[in-house]
Structures are given as structure tokens and as C-alpha cells.
Amino acid sequence: MHRFKLAIIAFILLFTVNSFAWVKGIYLTQYTAENTKTLTYLIQQAKSVGINTFVIDYSRPSKRYTQNIQLVKNAGISYVARIVMYPEGGLHEQIISQDYLNKRLTTIKQAVALGAKEIQLDYIRYKATQVPSSENAKNILKVIEAVDRTLEGSGVKLQMDIFGVAADGESKAIGQNPSLFGKVVDAICPMVYPSHYEPFRVHAVTPYQTVLRSLNALRENLRNSPNVKIYAYIELFNYRFPMSHATKIEYIMAQLRAVRDSQADGYYVWSANNKYNILFSILREGRPIPLAQVQWKKFYFI
């Protein structure tokens, strides 16, 4: 019991020290952002547990979206606009198309006008079925550079998402190479979801090691771009591995601890349906269920 108490105290301290400098965010769809009641609830809950950033999809102009983004900003929460560049990954013809890119640049300009502090590019990659080649990442880099030029002088920073596998180095099929992209972007957001690693049965029960190893690998691949921030995307559950409520709590805490131990610059939590009550409970109380119900695993104390 004494060890459990120490673990809780350490966990709480871990996520309150330097809280103002650390980015702590959640992802929201545009639909959620346009739902005033839901957004107001999420703002209230986020503020109560120290979450300081909302990554919000933006794909089209909307009066309600514009109004509700102001609610986010008025609450002192940073608004990061997530722009999906090539849904499900792009074909070569799309990625080299100036007309296609111009449409995305227009969307980015609209998000900036709404007050986005940062732009986050997602699906900024080729389809996984693309023939592997280092030219793929070079073509993606040209797109990133075009976005960077669009943001020039605005003061808005540029983030991009990458697959967890790309944290280890260049992924030639999808065209993601962090060491190359680090020369342009301000932050890289690796999607280090344990559910996306193989063999998934191993990574599902070793979330701490999975996340920590990937983030350490990414930092090494960014050694020539030391000023690039790393904001890790983590997940609330492993969709490929059945979990009880107690196990989900352990799973989330292990990922959070790995992010901190890697000395990353913050985290974004992904929930496709934008349900974050389990996260809020963890951040607010440390443990939302009695200790006796929890089976602690060794790696939480590494």
C-alpha cells in the first residue's frame, strides 16, 4: 500500500511541475466544435484539469464554428487547427498537383484568420501502397514548404503528424522522414498509439516501453533540428486488445508517463468520438477507482 501511495503522489507531481510550459491537449472534430453545449462542457472540464490546448479539425467555413472557436480562445485554451491534407493518404497525382494544394492552402488561411495559434497537418503522406522511394518524402517536403511560405509573417507555427513507425526514421512508402521535415516544421506529432504497432499483443501490454522507445528514436532522428518540438499523440484505449475500465486507466497512465520520461514537449490525446471523461478523471484525481481494484505492472515504476 505504501508503494501505491508513493506512485500516486509521484504521478500527480509528474504532471503538475512545469505545467504551464508543457502542452497538454485533446483532439476535437469540427462537429464537436460546432456543438456549443458539448464544447462548453469540454472547455470546463479541460480547464479544471490543466489541459491547455484543443486540436480542432477545420475543413469548411461555418458561422457556428467561428463563434465557438472564440469560446475556446476566451477560456485561455490554445486553438490548433488540424488540416487533413490527403484523406487516407495521397496519390502521387494529388501530391504534385498545384490545384489540389491551393485548395488546402485556402483552408489553412481561413483557419489562421479564425485565430489558430498553430496549424497541424495530418494525413500529410502518400498512401501506404505507394512504391517505396526517397522521392516520396521529398515531394511531401515540397508541400510542407508551400504551407510554411503561406504562414510566413503570420506568427502561426507549423506542426505535422507522422505515423509512429516514421519516428524510427524514413518511411519510404508513405513518404515521411522526420530528419528531413525537421528543417521546416516547428513541431512533429508522432502518433505513438500502441494499438498501431506489431505484434499488437506485445505492445498492448507494454504501452510505456512502446511510447518511450518511439519518442526517444524520434528525438535522435531530430538531432540536427534540436528546436523542433515533439508533441506525442496517445490513445485512450487499444481497440485491438480487450480492456477493463481499470486496465484502460493503467494504459493511459503508462503512455503519459512515457511522454514525460522521454522529455517530449507535451501530448495530445486522441479519441475519435471526443469522449474524454476517463482522461479528465485521471488528471483530476490521479486514480478515479479504489487502489485495491488496480493491478499495477512493473513498468509503471521504471
Least confident of 20-24, 211-215, 229-233, 249-253: 20-24
- φ, ψ of residue 126 in degrees (nearest 5): -80, 160
Q: What is the DSSP string of 253-266?
A: HHHHHHHHHTT-SE
- Percentage of the chain modeled with pLDDT above 90: 80
Q: Cα(265)–Cα(72) distance, rounded to whole angstroms?
A: 22
How do residues 182-208 score in pLDDT, each as one tens digit? 999 999 999 999 998 888 888 888 999
Helix orientation angle between 245-261 and 2-14, rounded to the nearest 10 degrees: 60
70-105 pLDDT, tens digit each: 999 999 999 999 999 999 999 999 999 999 999 999
Taking 50 as the threshold, does the pLDDT of residue 19 lie above it? no
Domains of the chain: 23-301 (3.20.20.80)
Fill in the DSSP letter of residue 234. E
State the distance between the two ends of the chain, measured CA to CA, in whole angstroms: 18
Q: What is the mean pLDDT of residues 19-36?
A: 90
Residue with cell 462537429: 31
pLDDT, one tens digit per residue, over 134-186 is: 999 999 999 999 999 999 999 999 999 999 999 999 999 999 999 999 999 99
- What is the tens place of the pLDDT at every residue in 252-290? 999 999 999 999 999 999 999 999 999 999 999 754 333
Check whether 3 has a pLDDT greater than 80: no
pLDDT band at 234 (very low <50, low <70, confident <90, very high): very high
DSSP label at 60?
A: S
Which pLDDT score, from 0 to 100, does residue 296 have?
34
pLDDT value of residue 203? 85
Q: Which set of grid coordinates corresponds to residue 19?
A: 505545467
Say whether pLDDT at 67 is over 90: yes
Which residue, 290, 285, 288, 291, is CA-closest to 49? Answer: 285
Q: For residues 276 and 270, give the distance between their C-alpha atoms in angstroms, rounded to a whole number.
A: 9
Q: Which residues contact 1 (CB under 8 A, 6 or more apart)?
A: 291
Burial 75-92 (b: 16+ CB within 10 A, else e): bebbbbbbbbbbeebbee
pLDDT at 4: 45
Residue-level pLDDT at 196: 87
Instruction: For the chain, state the CA radius of gyration.
Output: 19
